[in-house]
């Protein structure tokens, strides 16, 4: 997503949060879960429930793996907390400073830190959700795939902080779930688009010309199984990723009998929504997706 679009989304998201949050929200910002400057997180929860044990959502921002920051997501975290949940808003190290699987390992490290210190916050470690948009959706879905696939976890040198029963669901927006398909689809794009996609994914992979085996390790799709938790997923058909990423993921989850709730807006939809529209709260579709995702969280947190 380009910088102008990001700035617009953040502007309307912050405005919407300021106008609609109905209670005091506690934000404990920039807790260090590791030694690197990027290894920071925010813990966000409704102040009136400081002594409760709330379902917790680990929130991971997007930005094509090369941009973005958790501060842009803080209004969204506050909106979720306003619905009676705790939120952990996670920062991670961007490309090119770090290559895969460091981003997934950092999310796992953040989760472990929160679980080990859960007594400090109103968090129920038995009711965990993960949510991400775009690159963030890639990171959280890969993390959960590794929790449910010992083979994938082994290839990533990942010792999962979570056990599968703790994860009650995922909320995914405009994500990348099969990096191999994305990488090879770029061959058919124009020269500039092809070069840009290949360049970013090569840096993300840590290989100049990533092999198919490497690209598979960077994705949830090849590792999906019947143990995958319930999923809420949103996208717009105006987003070029939807056809090659979101729709195949939905189809595969249904084949595996994994509960999936999907909101895919068609090209004919009356609003001009595209990639990561869900954070631009001036759209009816964005607000609808937020409400649907909150209902999903409430349903699966019981």
Going by C-alpha positions, the residue among 179, 87, 166 that lies closest to residue 132 is 87
Extract the tokens encoding 177.
């779930």
> Does the annotation count 134 as an active-site position?
yes
CA distance linking residue 168 with residue 233, whole number of Å: 15
Q: Packing angle between helix 74-82 and helix 284-300, nearest 10 degrees? A: 50
Return all residues near 190 (Cβ < 8 A) that are at least 6 apart: none
Return all residues near 270 (Cβ < 8 A) that are at least 6 apart: none
CA distance linking residue 29 with residue 31, whole number of Å: 6
Residue 144: CA count within 13 A, CB half-sphere: 29
**Which is catalytic among the residues 131, 134, 234, 236?**
134
Extract the tokens encoding 245.
């990423």
Q: In 3-state terms, what secondary structure has residue 7?
A: helix
CA distance linking residue 6 with residue 64, whole number of Å: 12
Extract the tokens encoding 270.
């009356």
CA distance linking residue 170 with residue 164, whole number of Å: 12
The alpha carbon of residue 244 and the mean position of all alpha carbons in its chain are separated, in whole angstroms, by: 18
**Is the CB of residue 250 less than 8 Å from the CB of residue 233?**
yes
Query: Active-site residues: which are they?
Result: 134
């Amino acid at each position: 997503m380009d910088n102008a679009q990001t700035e617009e989304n953040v502007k309307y998201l912050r405005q919407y949060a300021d106008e609609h949050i109905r209670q005091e929200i506690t934000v404990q910002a920039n807790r260090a879960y590791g030694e690197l400057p990027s290894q920071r997180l925010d813990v966000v929860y409704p102040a009136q429930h400081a002594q409760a044990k709330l379902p917790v959502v680990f929130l991971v921002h997007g930005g094509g793996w090369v941009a973005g920051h958790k501060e842009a997501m803080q209004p969204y975290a506050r909106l979720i907390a306003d619905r009676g949940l705790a939120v952990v808003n996670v920062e991670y190290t961007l490309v090119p400073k770090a290559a895969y699987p460091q981003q997934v390992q950092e999310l796992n490290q953040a989760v472990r830190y929160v679980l080990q210190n859960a007594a400090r916050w109103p968090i129920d470690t038995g009711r965990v959700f993960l949510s991400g948009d775009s690159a963030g959706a890639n990171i959280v879905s890969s993390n959960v795939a590794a929790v449910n696939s010992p083979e994938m976890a082994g290839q990533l040198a990942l010792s999962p902080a979570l056990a599968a029963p703790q994860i009650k669901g995922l909320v995914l927006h405009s994500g990348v779930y099969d990096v191999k398909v994305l990488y090879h689809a770029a061959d058919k794009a124009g020269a500039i688009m092809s070069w840009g996609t290949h360049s970013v994914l090569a840096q993300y992979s840590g290989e100049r010309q990533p092999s198919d085996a490497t690209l598979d390790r960077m994705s949830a799709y090849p590792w999906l199984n019947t143990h995958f938790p319930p999923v809420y997923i949103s996208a717009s058909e105006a987003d070029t990723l939807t056809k090659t990423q979101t729709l195949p993921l939905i189809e595969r989850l249904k084949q595996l009998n994994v509960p999936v709730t999907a909101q895919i807006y068609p090209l004919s939809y009356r609003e001009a929504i595209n990639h990561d529209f869900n954070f631009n709260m001036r759209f009816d579709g964005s607000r609808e997706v937020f409400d649907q995702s909150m209902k999903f969280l409430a349903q699966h947190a019981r």
